[in-house]
Amino acid sequence: MPLDVLETLCDLVRLPSVNPMGRGVSGDEYFEYRVTGYLQRLFERLGWPHRRQPIEPRRDNIVARLDGDVPPERGGAILMFEAHQDTVPVDGMTVPPWTPEIRQGRVYGRGACDIKGGMACMLAAMSRLAEERPAGRPTIVMACSVNEEYGFGGAPRIGDLWLGEAAFLPLAPDTVIVAEPTALDVVVAHKGAVRWRCHAHGRAAHSSRPQAGDNAIYRMARVLAALERYARDVVPTLGQHALVGPPSLSVGLIAGGVSVNTVPDRCTIEIDRRVLPGEDPQAAYLHAVEFVARELNGDPQIEHDPPYLTSCGLSEELSRSLAAGLSETVRQAGGPGRCVGVPYGTDAPAFAGAGIPTVVFGPGSIAQAHTADEWIAVEQLQRATEILYQFASRPRGLSRSREEQWRQV
């Protein structure tokens, strides 16, 4: 019997895989190792060849393979499904995060929507392909990455699995479908991001004599005022994309001081700049840094770290054929199947940046992701599973020539 998508999702939700999001926290609920172990045992039970790929301690990508009618070593096509294993933290949740509840046609729990629901759909569709073996199917690769929610650290390493003498695949996939909650639309474009920390330095003193110190929080206030002007008046003029709109900038975190009776000698903020498809994240970072320097007359007590995250946006240019084929399959199954752009980021640029046509697709809405009562509709799970199965049975949009790839080897 093929995997049951609802049962598989509940299994995944029961396994904490919280991304610490850069915080200095500890506990068994952090990192993806529980989900990776579950997937490995599942692949072993189903008899699918698989490979674990260590990224960091307790953080392994895992990839499985189901050969199609014509294996890739003999020129057959490869379709890759990709889903990340991690979830955001559970702080403030109003439903049990790791005890899945099914009520009123919904599954509640952390990761149910983002993105264990999409992962369960891919696994269920792949298991049905293994059992029914429809004629014309390509080789299916299921890639489960780590650290998507904070650093996009796992997906770029998946490409190592089709490079070198010990490669798991002889060639790169022809196309990739990345799981995210798209409400059964086909995402063909999205923004990327560059994130960094900015520090204001001062001089500590007793708060009874503030004039003896140099308040780093006051200094940072001037930086914040400059960034607010920059985000409002400058960033929206730096470009426009038909599907994702203008770029943006926001400050999301601030920390400073050691006690209320001490003049703080340091204050730190974290900045998030969303970049358009085709926009250079490093150039966007430098533009913001230079603006702040001009506004503050080159204040030497302001320091910007190099970015700790850079992710390009996803462009629609490579994926037109793939998107059209998947969109048609979605519509035939009764879904919307619109080709759209979104403002958030995904793992997709890790593959599109290597020249592989890549789209983003999955059940659920981004409005339900990361919420205090995260949920996904059972009907969306079932429909997405059917769509993935139908598309993978006779995929349309595998646009690259496999023969051409072989000539390049």
How far is the C-alpha of 278 from the C-alpha of 178, rounded, in Å? 19
Residues written for the chain: 409
The torsion angles phi and psi of 348, rounded to 5 degrees, stand at -55, -40
Task: Quote the pLDDT of residue 406.
Answer: 36
Which of 321, 380, 348 minimizes the C-alpha distance to 187?
Answer: 348
pLDDT along the chain (409 residues), means of 10: 97 98 91 98 98 97 96 92 98 98 98 98 98 95 97 93 82 97 98 98 98 98 98 98 97 97 98 98 98 98 97 96 96 95 96 97 97 98 98 72 40
How far is the C-alpha of 169 from the C-alpha of 161, rounded, in Å? 6
How far is the C-alpha of 274 from the C-alpha of 262, rounded, in Å? 36
How far is the C-alpha of 359 from the C-alpha of 322, rounded, in Å? 8
In whole angstroms, how far apart are CA 161 and each of 173, 400, 406?
11, 19, 17
Tokens (6 digits) for 212: 């003896």
Q: Which residues pair with 167 in a beta bridge?
A: none
Task: Quote the pLDDT of residue 1.
Answer: 87
How far is the C-alpha of 187 from the C-alpha of 253, rounded, in Å? 29
- Ordered by where they begin, the domains of the chain are 5-190+314-408 (3.40.630.10), 192-311 (3.30.70.360)
Task: Quote the pLDDT of residue 399.
Answer: 47
Task: Quote the pLDDT of residue 397.
Answer: 62
In what helix (H) or strand (E) does residue 285 lie, and over which residues does it extend? helix 281-295
Task: Quote the pLDDT of residue 401.
Answer: 46
Tokens (6 digits) for 1: 């019997």
Sheet holding 186-190, edge to edge: 50-56, 59-66, 139-145, 78-84, 175-179, 358-361, 186-190, 339-342
242 DSSP assignment: T
How far is the C-alpha of 291 from the C-alpha of 296, rounded, in Å? 9
How far is the C-alpha of 144 from the C-alpha of 155, rounded, in Å? 8
Strands (E), 25-131: 50-56, 59-66, 78-84, 101-103, 106-108
Task: Quote the pLDDT of residue 154.
Answer: 96
Q: What pTM, to 2 d.p., does this model score?
A: 0.93
Residue appearing with tokens 């339900």 = 368
How far is the C-alpha of 143 from the C-alpha of 78, rounded, in Å? 12
Pairing of strands 358-361, 175-179: parallel
